[in-house]
């Protein structure tokens, strides 16, 4: 590795040399690494190819979950959400059946790995909202999700950010299919493509902070399926809380401490 001196600054690769800047100084190094063609064909890199294939599929499955929650996830997640979801899906893949490089993603079978996942690790929901409640439930077809939050004192059970005057409770439900490796196409595919990413969301009205809510809060999401869903899909139920500030009768969403967690997979 060499240090670049002089007045010409280059960033990037030029021939066999890579120019980069770190800690306020410019450096040059020879382009390294193994050629792509060797990784793709050399028997010595078989394990690398397997890992790459499964890691890419983990990113795909994580993206499907994000797409299913696209209407709400942006305001409820932190900047590391993509990488953390990819890592979560890789954990599911690592215990899946099949050969390395072709191991399946089984969602319902591995629900325990999904339940408890925080979309905003900076503000986990238990540190923000801790009123007594039961997890969301599903009907016999796994098509209708219901979350009931008994009446509670907001002064005792919510840790609201500075400036918040109101909050909303959220139930977001989406279907995530199992994924298996198609040996003909040489890629991973959703087992239930038609149902995959089907979603719905229910959000309460604005609830004032300070004192009792005044009644139970019931949130319901109907995914619209008339028949029972197959065991090769998981119904992901995420619960959350969003904070607002009321100014001149208008409600402005706050950027901090909005929290959401996968609470139940059925």
Q: What is the pLDDT of residues 33-42, one digit of tens each?
A: 655 555 445 4
Alpha helices of 69-197 — where are they, by DSSP H?
70-73, 81-94, 111-114, 125-128, 154-157
Of 14, 266, 12, 1, which is closest to residue 140 (Cα–Cα)? 266
The average confidence (pLDDT) of the chain is: 88
**Measured between alpha carbons, how far is 176 from 243 in angstroms, rounded to an integer?**
28
Higher pLDDT, 243 or 17: 243
Q: Enumerate the domain spans of the chain.
A: 1-32, 36-265
The average pLDDT across 126-149 equals 97
* pLDDT, tens only, 194-250: 999 999 999 999 999 999 999 999 999 999 999 999 999 999 999 999 999 999 999
Do 252 and 206 meet the contact criterion of CB atoms below 8 Å apart? no
Give yes or no for residue 119 having a pLDDT over 90: yes
Element (H, E) at 179: strand 179-182
**Which tokens go with 161?**
């950010």
Percentage of the chain exceeding pLDDT 70: 81
> Whole-prediction pTM value?
0.84
| CB-based contact 242:170 (threshold 8 Å) | yes
Cβ of 28: how many Cβ atoms within 10 Å?
14
pLDDT of residue 223: 98
Q: What are phi and psi of 21, to 5 degrees?
A: -125, 130
Task: Give the residue from 180, 165, 49, 204 showing the smallest Cα distance to 109.
Answer: 180
Strand pairing report for 144-149 and 217-222: antiparallel
At 256 the pLDDT is: 84
∠156-128-240 over CA atoms, to 5°?
A: 115
The strand pairing partners of 156, in sequence order, are none
- Distance from C-alpha of 3 to C-alpha of 27, rounded to nearest angstrom: 4
d(CA 54, CA 121): 25
At 52, is the pLDDT very low, low, confident or very high (cuts 50, 70, 90)? Answer: confident
84 burial class (0-12, 13-18, 19+ CB within 10 angstroms)?
middle
CA–CA gap between residue 59 and residue 262 (Å, rounded): 18
Question: Are the C-beta atoms of 140 and 18 separated by less than 8 Å?
Answer: no
Residue 192 pLDDT class (50, 70, 90 cuts): very high
């Amino acid at each position: 590795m060499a240090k670049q001196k002089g007045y010409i600054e280059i960033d990037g690769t030029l021939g066999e040399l890579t120019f980069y800047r770190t800690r306020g100084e410019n450096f040059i190094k020879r382009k390294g690494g193994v050629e792509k063609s060797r990784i793709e064909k050399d028997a010595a890199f078989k394990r690398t190819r397997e890992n790459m294939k499964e890691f890419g599929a983990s990113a795909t499955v994580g993206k499907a979950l994000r797409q299913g929650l696209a209407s709400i996830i942006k305001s409820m997640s932190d900047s590391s959400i993509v990488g953390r979801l990819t890592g979560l899906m890789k954990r599911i893949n690592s215990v899946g059946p099949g050969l390395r490089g072709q191991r399946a993603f089984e969602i319902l079978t591995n629900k325990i790995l999904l339940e408890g996942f925080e979309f905003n690790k900076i503000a986990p929901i238990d540190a923000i909202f801790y009123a007594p409640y039961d997890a969301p439930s599903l009907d016999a077809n796994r098509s209708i999700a219901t979350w009931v939050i008994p009446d509670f004192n907001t002064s005792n059970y919510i840790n609201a950010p500075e400036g918040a005057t109101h909050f909303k409770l959220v139930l977001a439900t989406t279907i995530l299919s199992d994924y298996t490796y198609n040996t003909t196409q040489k890629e991973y595919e959703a087992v239930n493509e038609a149902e995959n990413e089907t979603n719905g969301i229910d959000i309460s009205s604005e609830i004032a902070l300070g004192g009792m809510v005044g009644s139970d809060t019931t949130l319901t999401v109907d995914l619209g399926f008339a028949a029972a869903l197959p065991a090769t899909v998981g119904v992901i139920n995420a619960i959350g809380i969003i904070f607002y500030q009321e100014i001149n009768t208008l409600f402005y969403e706050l950027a901090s401490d909005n929290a959401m967690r996968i609470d139940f997979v059925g």
